[in-house]
Every structure is written in C-alpha cells, then in structure tokens.
Chains A and B, each alone.
Chain A
Amino acid sequence: MSRARDSLVVGRVIGDVLEPFIKRVSLRINYSGKEITNGREFKPSEVVNQPRVEVGGNDLRTFYTLVMVDPDAPSPSNPHLREYLQWLVVDIPGTTDATFGRELMCYEPPRPTMGIHRMVLVLFQQLGRETVYPPGWRQNFNTKDFAEIYNLGQPVAAVYFNCQRESGSGGRRMYPI
C-alpha cells in the first residue's frame, strides 16, 4: 500500500502536478543529511545546493529520470508560471544516485519570493536510454506532458517539501509589494 500517496493527495501534488500513481521504487532525498519527507519545510539557505538523491530499484541497467518542479511559481495564489522547472536529470542507473545521471537542466536553487511553495521531485522509469531534449525555458513546464512525450509512463515515486522566503512569515504579506 503506498501511504506516501496520501500526503501527496492531501498536499494537492496529486491534482496540481501529477495523476494518482503507485509508488514502485524507493526515492530517498536529503539536503546535507536532512531527509525530505512530504510537507517538510526547508529554507532556501538549506536547499541552495543540489540534494543527494538515492534511487532504488534492483537493476543497474534500468534508468530513471528525475524532475524537480515548483508548481506554485511565482506565488501559490497566482501560479501563472506553474510549473517552474528547477532540475532535470536523466539516465540515472537503478540503485545509484543522481550524480550518475545526465543533467539536462542544472539545479536551480529555489528562491520563492511570495507565499509558501511546494517543491516536487518526481521519479520516472525510462524504457531505455532515449534522447531527451530539455525545454528551452524553465517556466510553464508540464510534467505530465513531458512524461507523455518521452514515454516515461506513470511516475514510480514522488516526494515534495515546502519552501518560503528565508525571512518568511508563513505566506502572510506584511508590507505592500
């Protein structure tokens, strides 16, 4: 039973970014030792460097794609840039980590200015080592469409964390912009 899916549904990741799926592969991500669990909060200063992404599976010959997006860009109440592509890594061999993959879009540290953003990391299993073309820009990325274009199928794992401005006040606007 995939319990992680419940938090993804409650946090509306399933709905806003993904369709319901069944978790099949373990995905463990940490920023300097601090593990990502759904809904956990990370400050921008904590996520300025790319995290360590440990991919499960049981075969070195199975390859995975990792997508990291911000569906709440630039602001959760007006996400007209949804989804903002923060990171894209392909050809990650099973049982290894993201450093063994090929980075198509380099890691951009999250810098939310307004509100509390969800940062979603999704793992797809590749059919083979297909040529994947990165998009020309980061905003208005669509994970679902991307998966369809490159035949990635349903996600095999996903996790998300929350991120707000370093001096954030829980999404409250203290001063007029």
Chain B
Amino acid sequence: MQSWKRKGRRKKKMEEVWKDMSSSIALHQDIPPTPSFCSFQHNVNSTTTTLGGVLSQDLLAGVSMDPFPLASLVADDPFSALSGAGFESSRKQLPDPRVDSRERRKKRMIKNRESAARSRARKQAYTNELENEVDRLLNENHMLKRQYEQLRLEMAAHNLITPCKRKLYRTLTAPF
C-alpha cells in the first residue's frame, strides 16, 4: 500500500525505522553501500533494506554480503521499498512462517535457559548442603573430642583411671 501522498507524512517514521535498523544492524552486518541507495539515504550511515517489508537480522544475515540483489530490487521501485520499510514492518507479523520458526526458536531458548538455571540451582544446593554438613560434623567432632579429653583429665585427677597393666586371665576352665 504505497502512496505518493503519504510519503511526506510517513517520512519521519521511516527515518526512525532506518535509524533503528542502522544502529542495531550496523553492529552485526557489514554490507557495503549500494549505489542506488545513496541518493535516498542522505542521513543514514549504513545501508540496509527490507525484503517483502519484513525486517530482521536473520534475513539480512542470510542475504547480506552480496549487495547486488538488493540493489536491483531497490532500483526497480525505490519509493515502494523505502515507504514499505516504514509502513509494513510495523504492521505485518504472524502469518509469516519465518517469524513462526523464529518465535519457536526463541521459546525453546527461553525454556532451555530456565532448565539450565534449574540445573545449576540443583547442583549448587546439593554442594551447599554437603559443605554445611561437613562443617557441622567437623565442629561436632572437634567438640566431642575436647569433651572427651576434659573428662579424661577429670577422671585421672580423681585417680579413677588406673594405668592399664597387662594381666593374666584364665581364659578356659575345663572340667577335666
């Protein structure tokens, strides 16, 4: 739905869209400028475009390095492409199978991230518990040993413990 009349009013929004695209995509892409674009993009530094009105990094990643197919598209109908950028990308979303698979991929990534987080939490909780147990048992052991030593000293002080002498004991008493 391209309209020459609307181009003027749309221009602001389109430029915003171009700015967004250039800022996000310039980081990822390295598309050399196409000759036919330069005259239309006086205030945009990078050159990107839309294909069928749907803008995505994935798409550009697939198409990017060769500027010529894009240039030919643009050369045919430059105004439609430009006005399409501002107009269509804001409207068209779901029926596109490419978008669906992207959504599914995103959902799977989120699920996987959550699962990984749960796994890490599980592992950490177990290790944490073991460490606590170890500390607790070491302390208990230490305390018990000290108590034991103290009791021994007290008992020895009261002469309740006699040194253990080897004695001879009768082990068997046979009737014969």
Q: Which residues of B contact A116 (CB under 8 A)?
A: 118, 122
Q: Does A134 contact B (CB under 8 A)?
A: no
Partner of B128, one of A10, A12, A77, A162: A10
Alpha-carbon separation in the docked complex, A176 to B38 (Å): 52
CB <8 Å contact, B129 and A7: yes
The number of chain A residues touching the other chain, given as a range, is: 10 to 19
**Most central of A11, A37, A40, A162 by chain B CB within 10 Å:** A11
Look across to chain A and name the residue whose beta carbon is closest to the beta carbon of B128.
A7
Known: A77-B111, A77-B115, A171-B115. A7 touches B132 (CB 8 A): yes
The number of chain B residues touching the other chain, given as a range, is: 10 to 19
Partner of B122, one of A3, A4, A11, A37: A11
Alpha-carbon separation in the docked complex, A12 to B119 (Å): 12
Which A positions have Cβ atoms within 8 angstroms of B? 3-4, 6-7, 10-12, 37-40, 76-77, 116, 162, 171
Known: A7-B126, A162-B122. 4 other contacts (CB 8 A): A7-B128, A10-B128, A37-B130, A76-B118
29 pairs, A vs B, C-beta closer than 8 Å = A3-B132, A3-B135, A4-B129, A6-B132, A10-B121, A10-B125, A10-B128, A11-B122, A11-B125, A12-B118, A12-B121, A37-B129, A38-B125, A38-B126, A38-B128, A38-B129, A39-B122, A39-B125, A39-B126, A39-B128, A39-B129, A40-B126, A76-B115, A76-B118, A77-B114, A116-B122, A162-B122, A171-B115, A171-B119
Which B positions have Cβ atoms within 8 angstroms of A? 111, 114-115, 118-119, 121-122, 124-126, 128-130, 132-133, 135-136
